[in-house]
Amino acid sequence: MPESADRLKLSYEEQPGLQTVLIALEGMLDSSAYQNLRSYISRRIDNTGIRNVILDLSQLNYVASSGWSALFVESWEAEKKGGLMVLFGLNERVQKSLDTIVSKAQILHVVRNLREGIAAVRRTLAKDGKTQASLEVEAKECALDRSLTLIRLSGHLDSKTVGELEARFDQQLKQGRVRWMADLGDLEYISSAGLKSFATVLPELRKQGGDLYFIGLQPHLAKIFKIMGFMELFKVFETEADAIYAYHRN
């Protein structure tokens, strides 16, 4: 549902089941649009049960310091209500203007895309016990190279859900398929139990002439991998194509 002012156009879309609203901003966010943005967000949060806001800034051409102040206030208001405000889609100019305001850049939650924004909201809800942690695992032949198995994970990988993943591991091993790629692009959370499952299966794969590569790590998962030393233990790639190329080089 769109709404416009002189310099700023706004539209929103509720995200079912996430207590979240997605708001797209287009144009310029300056002092003249400050109050318009605040009232627009308030009307969609107050007395609605919505606690989280995801802002799409991909069509925003300019943000003044007063605009960043407005976003800072809204982020603080969301946190007071136990929610989260996430920004994505910053172009180079908007990112540079944010980088000049160091104090706000450290507080605002900025991600690369909508998928990461939704994942951040899900993590917040899970911490509060508002969502049931679950894991979906899909293991299939890679469409680009049928000698490889693509294992795609989404949701939460922890002690309660790791059995689902290990069952897929066993299934692939029984079929003699030992060259794997694990796509973690939709994985929102991984615990030590989840990490252990990967580390445990790796020696068996390599013993049989296979391996396990990771693709699609989101920033919060990449940080965990670095802390736990997984970047040295496993090979990690940006895309499926990069991983396939590496397999063929080896």
For residue 128, name the pLDDT band (cuts at 50, 70, 90).
low
Assigned CATH class of 2-127: alpha beta
Q: What is the pLDDT of residue 6?
A: 59
Q: What is the pLDDT of residues 2-50, one digit of tens each?
A: 444 457 899 989 888 788 999 999 999 987 787 788 888 888 777 677 8
Distances (CA, A) of 93 to 57, 63, 72, 110: 11, 9, 18, 15
Angle in degrees, CA 236, 149, 207, rounded to 5: 75
Q: Is the pLDDT of residue 213 over 90?
A: yes
* Cut 0.75: pTM above it: no
What are the domain boundaries of the chain? 2-127, 135-249
User: What DSSP element (H or E) covers 13?
Assistant: strand 8-15
For residue 228, the one-letter residue type is: M
* Topology agreement, domain 2-127 and domain 135-249: yes
Chain segment 74-126, per-residue pLDDT in tens: 887 777 777 889 999 999 999 888 887 744 445 678 888 998 898 888 877 77
The answer regarding whether domain 135-249 maps to CATH 3.30.750.24 reads yes
